[in-house]
Structure 1
């Protein structure tokens, strides 16, 4: 025990001295050190270096879809590392895993989504899409179609372009200057989108981008009919529709891709996270066949965009095995079943507490609002959700909060391998934590 305490202290001090954490409070890190130092994971559980085990109710960052400790993925990576760890995809060089993964993605994405550009993650997928749509319209003789419309409360990443598309002010205010040509409209309002297009002029707009379900903005689910109308609006005004499925793809919402809930095919689909279940960094931009065909027809010379790790053979190998697991174990179906159970249990919990407001669940992505008054949805003067998730963590459950603006929300997205017993346990810990905090208010 003494040795373990010494190791924990040593690592914590090294962490404070040398590790700048992403999306974290630098002051909190320096004052308290790392919240948890993880050591291993299995299924829906993670264990820290002190032997404490937690249900990972967020699948880390919405992404460990097939759960932790999958030896199949480790074995696939090892075999590929020993064969061809890396090779460039520049200058038309290629490799078998990248070719097979591109073909696999084309076969499982909706409609005529057809050709794939690989990236290292979601922010790169977003920035790639913005460049490609602008390049596309330039090739088509409409170079003034450069503006990208996104939604308020949307999250698209933290590269300069994706930060500019993100509709959460806290992220935008970090940068002293955002990229030009990005507009934001009211979330999930077709009328607001039409108004923005009319104000700006359709001949200046390259694309409209939306998450099928807003993740970091609070797990906001669109009303029925919204995306069908958006698809019609984009067709009517000759504007490309981009679906950011970085969080929602690969079974998270109870279907393989969230766009399938509304029967629409975007012109571009952005992927990451669940494509490899976080076992290795990878992202992708998938284009419809007519876009790919036009790029071939009108391009001259080199497409001057690409990343060192575009088409990384080891990453693509892991992704292929990951998709195989998702399909063979029918994890999208399990996501729907366990999501229905989760919604049922959260709804029951709502009647047992005084501070649980709106509940939003689609598959295994969801949220609950914390409110002072359930009738009016009035919030507390001080955010309560961070206190609740801190209490939950002490009891063995990791969740996340959204506290941007007026939001006081707890969000969750457990691994898609979660079973009924684990759903029950997750909600039981949440209930204990809410009641413990509620008793102090």
Structure 2
């Protein structure tokens, strides 16, 4: 089949007319068109249709852990698709890549997480976790245990259950009807968790879910001992503890899984994104050996939950190769080292620029707060992080703005393959981008006094 040549303008027009973009300002897309039309990626870089090259400072959506353009992943996908592209996992049917990946995950996961329920992505993984914990309590004869507690500033996805669990209010306000029995506690307070459990009644709580580091909510790293306290509380009240490692898993924070930093082992763990580095759609929920045994012993008949692409052979084959690359190229160790350099670079930028408040992060997952007053932490009336992101893109760096729940934060999450020199270049572009926005903002501020 001959490929029909199409101009940049024609592509942009088709994009406006036919591509309903996710998580995008739709009016802006219609007025200005796509910010980038990417055509190629290599390492930490993306190239758009005009020839512009930018640093992918977000690993696209926190997920291209091994970097762009890994031909070995494409080769594995082609080989698996040529042999067995798809087969169902329903009715106990199975395939070798799914079996091997489930075994590999059991080997590398924290604690006694030993069995995996595969999904197509992170939102499905979260919804699956909520359904499984509620079904678990039904099997145990405790049907009143159905409430799920999550944290403020949390993000767990956009399917109905995942949206309802998300602590960022703007996502919940998007729909007129949320799923019931979701509750929220302060994201840094274990005391508030215990107080809510007591107020609601422990016998009504099915599970507590938390991201080890809150990503889309602004890169919030929990206080020391927070998760140990949380696990103790869950144990005290016989409540299941779920960790959402969709963003933080597979080396992002300098450990295979971020909960390893805290010495805590959950009952269930959601994952996606970095398991394939975005080269194929895959996610899942890992379950502890104890709970999996109870499921198999107590279940009667068919488990009525599953997705068409659960255990997709090609996606699982890509995941296995992706994990091999992460290990062979020591990308987890690199994430820890480069993460320290990124944090140091951001702290240097903080000293150089007047509008940077707190700097925070863990591994290659960092953020900076934008403030008008460093002493008080007071922010600008109109958030500046979107302008910084726009200016950075002009200068060759993709990063992300978080303005939800009154925040004004710029976040970064580059591929784990990034080098020391590339970190330095990222910091240089960022500093210059903030300088441009800062100069304009301060001039406007002075003119209004």
2:334 equivalent to 1:315: no
Q: Distance in 2 between matches of 1:94 and 1:188?
A: 42
In structure 2, the residue matched to 1:235 is 235
More displaced 10-residue stretch of structure 1: 341-350 or 252-261: 341-350
Counterparts of 1:198-347 in structure 2, within 5 Å, are 198-347=198-347
Over residues 197-223 of structure 1, what are the superposed CA-to-partner deviations in whole Å (9 max), with x where a residue is unaligned?
001011000000000000010000001
Paired residues of 2:220 and 2:361 also in contact (CA < 8 A): no
Tell me the equivalent position of 1:415: 415
Structure 1 stretches of 5 or more lacking a match? Answer: none
SS at match of 2:357: strand
Report the Cα offset of residue 440 of structure 1. Answer: 1.0
Alignment of 1:149-188 (within 5 A): 149-188=149-188
Does the C-alpha gap of structure 1 residues 97 and 6 become closer, same or farther in structure 2, counting only changes over 3 Å? closer
Aligned residue for 2:350, secondary structure, equals helix
User: Is residue 2:382 matched to residue 1:379?
Assistant: no
Distance 1:55 1:305 in 2: 40
CA–CA distance in 2 between the matches of 1:176 and 1:347? 42
Report the Cα distance in structure 1 between the residues aligned to 2:25 and 2:346, rounded to whole angstroms: 30
Give 1:143 shift. Answer: 0.7
What RMSD over aligned residues (CA atoms) do the two structures have, in Å? 0.8
Encode CA deviations 1:161-214: one digit per residue, 9 max, x unaligned: 000000111110111100001000100210000001001011000000000000
Instruction: Provide the rounded CA distance (Å) in 1 between the counterparts of 2:190 and 2:76.
Output: 44
Cα distance in 2, alignment partners of residues 16 and 434 from structure 1: 30
Match of 2:46 in 1: 46
Specify the alignment match of 1:80 in structure 2: 80
After superposing on structure 2, the runs of 4+ consecutive aligned residues of structure 1 that deviate more than 6 Å are none
Residue equivalent to 1:146: 146
Q: Which runs of 5 or more residues in structure 2 are unaligned?
A: 442-449
CA deviations on 1:297-334 (whole Å, 9 max, x unpaired) are 10000000000000000000000000011111111110
2:27 alignment counterpart:
27
1:425: which partner in 2?
A: 425
Distance, in Å, in 1 between the alignment partners of 2:175 and 2:256 is: 35
Per-residue CA distance 1:260-302 (angstroms, 9 max, x = gap): 0011100000000000000010001000000000001100000
TM-score (norm 1): 0.98
* d(CA) in 2 for partners of 1:6, 1:385: 35
Q: Quick one: distance in 2 between partners of 1:188 and 1:438?
A: 30
CA contact (8 A) 2:44 2:417 kept: yes
Provide the rounded CA distance (Å) in 1 between the counterparts of 2:161 and 2:439.
45
CA shift, 1:78, in A, is 0.5
Q: What residue in structure 1 maps to residue 369 of structure 2? A: 369
SS of the residue corresponding to residue 405 of structure 1 reads helix
Partner residue, 2:446: none
CA distance in 1, matches of 2:264, 2:438: 43
Is 1:396 aligned to residue 396 of structure 2?
Answer: yes
Cα shift at 1:140: 0.6
1:25 to partner: Cα distance: 1.1
Q: What displacement does 1:6 show? A: 6.8
2-structure distance, mates of 1:305, 1:240: 19
Report SS of the residue matched to 2:87.
coil
Counterpart CA distance in 2 for 1:438 and 1:132 is: 49
Matched with 1:127 is 127
Kept in 1, the 8 Å contact 2:276–2:322? The answer is: yes
Distance 2:332 2:376 in 1: 35
> By how many angstroms is 1:346 displaced?
1.0
Q: CA deviation at 1:405?
A: 2.3
Alpha-carbon deviation of 1:7?
1.1
Aligned counterparts of 1:188 and 1:312: Cα–Cα separation in 2: 37
Question: 2:445 maps to what in 1?
Answer: none
| Residues 368-427 of structure 1: per-residue CA shift (max 9 Å, x gap) | 000000011100011101111111100000000000122010001000000001000000
